[in-house]
Amino acid sequence: MRRAGKWEYDAVVVGAGLTGATIAQRLTEQGKRCLVLEKRPHIAGNVYDVEIDGIRVHRYGAHIFHTSDRRVWEFVSRFTGFNHYIHAPMANFHGRICNLPFNMNTFSRLWGVVSPEEAEEKIREQRVVYDHEPRNLEEQALSLAGRDIYETLIRGYTEKQWGRPCTQLPAFLIRRLPFRFTYDNRYFSEPYQGIPAEGYTKMVERMLEGTELRLNTDYLSRRSDFDSLAERIVFTGPIDAFFACSEGRLQYRTLRFEDERLDMPNWQGTAVMNYTDADTPYTRIIEHKHFCFGQQPNTVITKEYPMEWTPEAEPYYPINDERNSAILERYRERAGRQTKVSFCGRLGEYRYYNMDQAIGAALALADRLLKE
């Protein structure tokens, strides 16, 4: 990356989420002048958290940090400590409770089996064998876990979450979840896990120390002004919006969050309860205090209602189905031809990144920019 010269900044970074904050931190630390623009009134993007009644509430859905990437863990650990929260959510199917992810506790609850051998036998009976690689989420789930698990724990949740039949969804979505024949309820298998001790917003605030930041500022509404400030733009907003949706609109899933403050110390006994039946309109209920082992006399819960995205809503989940993948290819090709702009992040790359993957990709991009 060249010295500023005629430019006021070395880089304008669009978005103050984890991706933008990581890039800005790395460049600033190496003596580059960065300007971060964020259209929302706060930093931290979707990992933003706020205090309500002394309880830290994950404003845009539950966020549990987990990684096996040593570099990412060491990087975030410079800005925060982590507590020892280990994610082990529960599933509620019409009032019937099961452990997630799919493990011996789940199988035992569903079928009364005790040993891994009995569970494997049960799944062998139910598993569907295809003469091809699973072509969609339904085939993937049926070949991995069989009919009972698919019908009780997967189909209803997934179709609510994505608003599409499982036969039209990519198989990789379900491969995110562990499937094990041990009595191990940990949702994530990675060695480094936890919740930032003082929250994600504090962590991102520390990452952005020393970097100039403008909140409530939409890069796309004054693009040429901002382009004239720096030779390099890093864009972490939606890639289709950058190109004015000229190759077609990418689809996203969005969420509506409904909070309730309850006058009791413990409402559901776990941080996350997934509602896996098709009739309950929300996918999960978060009870935030359990992420931090809170002892407050009151509690805050949030119901998550998935919805189809509209331009007024926040785009949360990219939908990596065939239609969107074809459109994305065209944007990727155009992005590759840009010399001034780099695209990064869950929205900038339209990839279903976890936090650690977003940070890992941002660190790699910052390395490349610093070598330019």
- Under rule CB under 6 A, residue 119 binds ligand UDP: no
Q: Is 358 in the site for ligand FAD (CB under 6 A)?
A: yes
Q: State the binding partner of 219 from ligand FAD, ligand UDP, none, CB within 5 to 8 A by kind.
A: ligand FAD
> Which among 98, 114, 95, 94 has a CA at the least distance from the CA of 106?
98
How far is residue 16's CA from residue 24's CA, in Å, rounded to a whole number? 9
In the list ligand UDP, ligand FAD, none, the entry touching 161 (Cβ below 5 to 8 angstroms by class) is: ligand UDP
Site for ligand FAD contains 178 (CB under 6 A): no
Q: How far is the CB of 153 from ligand UDP (least distance, A)?
A: 5
Element (H, E) at 355: helix 355-371
| Coil, helix or strand at residue 372 | coil
* Bridge partners for 262 per DSSP: 299
DSSP state of 288: G
CB of 336 to ligand FAD, least distance (A): 19
- Write out the two tokens for 255: 């969420």
**58 Cβ contact partners less than 8 Å away, ≥ 6 residues apart:** 47, 49, 200, 286, 288, 291, 302
Among 100, 119, 300, 358, binds ligand UDP (CB under 6 A): 100
CB nearer ligand FAD, residue 40 or residue 202: 40
CA 162 to chain centre: 14
Quote the tokens at residue 275: 């509602």
Q: Cis (ω within 30 of 0) for the bond into 41?
A: no
Looking only at the bridges linking them, the beta strands covering 192-194 and 65-67 are: antiparallel
Interacting residue with ligand FAD among 20, 134, 294, 360 (CB under 6 A): 20
CA distance 201 to 214: 16
Instruction: Confirm or reject binding of residue 90 to ligand UDP (CB under 6 A).
Output: no
Q: How far is the CB of 154 from ligand UDP (least distance, A)?
A: 4
The piece of 15-23, 110-118, 154-162, 259-267 that touches ligand FAD (CB under 6 A) is 15-23
Taking CB under 6 A as the criterion, the residue among 104, 153, 271, 359 binding ligand UDP is 153
Alpha-carbon gap, residue 181 to 179, rounded angstroms: 7
Q: How far is the CB of 134 from ligand UDP (least distance, A)?
A: 13
Residue 267: CB atoms within 10 A of its CB come to 17
- For residue 363, which amino acid is it? L
Looking at the chain, the number of H-run helices and the number of E-run strands are 14, 16
Among 91, 171, 233, 344, binds ligand UDP (CB under 6 A): 91
Minimum CB–partner distance for residue 264 and ligand UDP (Å): 25
Question: Distance between CA atoms of 322 and 166, rounded to whole angstroms?
Answer: 13
- Min separation Cβ 177 and ligand UDP, Å: 5
Q: Which is nearer to ligand UDP, 193 or 274 (CB)?
A: 274
Residue identified by tokens 């409530």 is 216
The answer to whether 354 contacts ligand FAD (rule: CB under 6 A) is: yes
Tell which phi-psi region holds residue 364, choosing left (phi > 0), alpha (psi between -120 and 50) or beta.
Answer: alpha
Using CB under 6 A as the binding rule, whether residue 110 contacts ligand UDP is answered as no
**Burial category of 221 from C-beta neighbours within 10 Å (exposed 0-12, middle 13-18, buried 19 and up):** exposed
String of contacts with ligand FAD for each residue 182-221, x by CB under 6 A: ------------------------------------xxx-
Residue pair 229/337 in contact by the 8 Å Cβ criterion: no
User: Applying CB under 6 A, what is the total number of residues that bind ligand UDP?
Assistant: 13
Interface segment toward ligand UDP; rule CB under 6 A; list 66-74, 174-182, 204-212, 293-301: 174-182
Q: Which residue stretch of 145-153, 259-267, 328-336, 344-352 sits at the interface with ligand FAD (rule: CB under 6 A)?
A: 344-352
In the complex, what is the shortest distance from the CB of residue 312 to ligand UDP, in angstroms, rounded to a whole number? Answer: 22
Rule CB under 6 A: which residues touch ligand UDP? 91, 100, 153-154, 157-158, 161, 173-174, 176-177, 274, 276
